């Protein structure tokens, strides 16, 4: 991945679009500290975070929902949510945030004592999103949140996302479904083989010839 320049303003919802292997996940993993950039910098709220470890970055208010959700299968639903609020700041707000997650996904409350591995695919992803919210983030990064889910479930997840946004969270998401990305986001970046090739607000991008040809076949 190289020459990637990207910015997200507070309160925005921004999409990163691209095919498999174009570097989208790498980008999100680097922001959250799982990998470190060889060059360049990543700034969050005015601080350089490019050398910080993931647990520091979570403390600063960035949460990543990794590809596949990565919930803890042998913890209960409630334990999964509880561990989401592990950092000291979020811990004091834990019960308040838990109520908000349960409001967003009532099904999680009814299954809170079950082991997470017994949930359905859609519920697992709701749990993963809820768990990310438990850390009380300012910026949330979503890596292919809807991958492999039925369209109805995807609608549910995006409805939740809009609610989350109403609360003032900033969202940066990676999505393979271009149509979906361009509907949900304010702005989008298009990546190809590790570079950003196009960016702009979604209304303009929809009209862009390259995007039309590559993704809508018209």
Partner 1 sequence: MSLLSDLATPIVMGILLGGLYSIIALGLSLVFGVVKEINIAHGDLVILGSYFGFVALTIVGIDPILSLIIGIPLFFGIGFAIQKYLLNRAFRISMDATLIIAFGISIILQNTFQLVWTPLSRGLTTSYALASFSAGPIYVPLVYLLDLIVAILVMFFLRELLRRTYMGIAIRSAAQDRMAAQLMGINTNRVYALTFGISTALAAVAGVFLGLTFPFTPVSGMSFLIIALGVVVLGGLGSIAGTLVAGIAFGLAQTLGGYFFGVAAQMLVAYTMVLVVLAVIPRGIFGR
Which spans of this chain sit near partner 1 (rule: CB under 8 A)?
A: 32-34, 53-55, 58-59, 63-64, 66, 70-75, 79, 82-84, 86-87, 90-91, 131, 135
Closest distance to partner 1 from the beta carbon of 54 (Å): 4
CA dist., res. 32 & res. 70, Å (int)? 15
Looking at the Cβ atoms of 131 and 187, the one nearer to partner 1 is 131
> With helix as H, strand as E and coil as C, how does 187-207 read?
EEEEEECCEEEEEEEHHHHHH
Looking at the Cβ atoms of 93 and 186, the one nearer to partner 1 is 93
Closest distance to partner 1 from the beta carbon of 119 (Å): 15
CA dist., res. 94 & res. 82, Å (int)? 7
Looking at the Cβ atoms of 86 and 102, the one nearer to partner 1 is 86
Looking at the Cβ atoms of 87 and 199, the one nearer to partner 1 is 87
User: Residue 78: which residues within 8 A CB-CB, separation 6 or more?
Assistant: 112, 113
Closest distance to partner 1 from the beta carbon of 78 (Å): 10
Among candidate residues 114, 124, 126, the one with its CA nearest the CA of residue 76: 114
């Amino acid at each position: 991945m190289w020459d990637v320049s990207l910015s997200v303003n507070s309160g925005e919802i921004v999409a990163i679009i691209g095919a498999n292997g174009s570097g989208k996940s790498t980008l999100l993993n680097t922001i959250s500290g799982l990998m470190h950039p060889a060059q360049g910098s990543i700034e969050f709220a005015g601080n350089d975070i490019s050398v910080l470890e993931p647990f520091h970055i979570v403390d600063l208010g960035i949460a990543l929902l990794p590809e596949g959700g990565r919930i803890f299968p042998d913890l209960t639903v409630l334990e999964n949510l509880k561990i989401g609020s592990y950092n000291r700041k979020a811990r004091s707000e834990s019960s308040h945030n838990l109520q908000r997650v349960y409001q967003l996904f009532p099904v999680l409350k009814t299954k809170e004592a079950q082991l997470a591995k017994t949930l359905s695919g859609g519920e697992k992803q709701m749990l993963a999103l809820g768990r990310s919210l438990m850390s009380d983030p300012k910026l949330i990064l979503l890596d292919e949140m809807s991958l492999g889910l039925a369209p109805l479930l995807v609608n549910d997840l995006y409805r939740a996302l809009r609610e989350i946004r109403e609360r003032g969270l900033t969202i940066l998401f990676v999505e393979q479904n271009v149509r979906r990305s361009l509907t949900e986001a304010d702005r989008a970046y298009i990546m190809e083989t590790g570079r950003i090739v196009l960016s702009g607000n979604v209304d303009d991008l929809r009209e862009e010839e390259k995007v039309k040809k590559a993704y809508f076949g018209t």
